[in-house]
Amino acid sequence: ETGVTQTPRHLVMGMTNKKSLKCEQHLGHNAMYWYKQSAKKPLELMFVYSLEERVENNSVPSRFSPECPNSSHLFLHLHTLQPEDSALYLCASSQEEGRNQPQHFGDGTRLSIL
């Protein structure tokens, strides 16, 4: 139990579908993150939120839309995805949006685009 819960664990969707990934942290952290992990590639940071404000968007295509309604919840809304978007999507949180702080990860959502 890492304190960071992601749902669903697996998701299969067509390219025209709209779906959302959900992340919830029970650690009282103020910063939350979305990462993408593709096969044989390192984790790629997608978005960073601190105190519900987006502070980083690493050139992510607009078909990925994050939402952070409060410091405990983070969503990733998906629309018109491409096959190359199939990957493991990981959510993480840290105490603050600062350096020198480990991030705590959820178990990820395995996304497959048909």
Task: Write out the residues near other proteins by the rule CB under 8 A.
Answer: 2, 4, 6, 31, 33, 40-43, 45, 48, 50, 55-56, 90, 92, 94, 96-108
Residue (16 or 39) nearer to other proteins, CB: 39
What does the block give as tokens for 15?
């390219």
94: Cα separation from own chain's centroid: 13
Residue (17 or 37) nearer to other proteins, CB: 37
- What's the min distance (Å) between Cβ of 97 and other proteins? 5
Instruction: Tokens 């969707």: give the residue.
Output: 13
Rounded (to 5) percent helix, strand, coil in the chain = 5, 55, 40
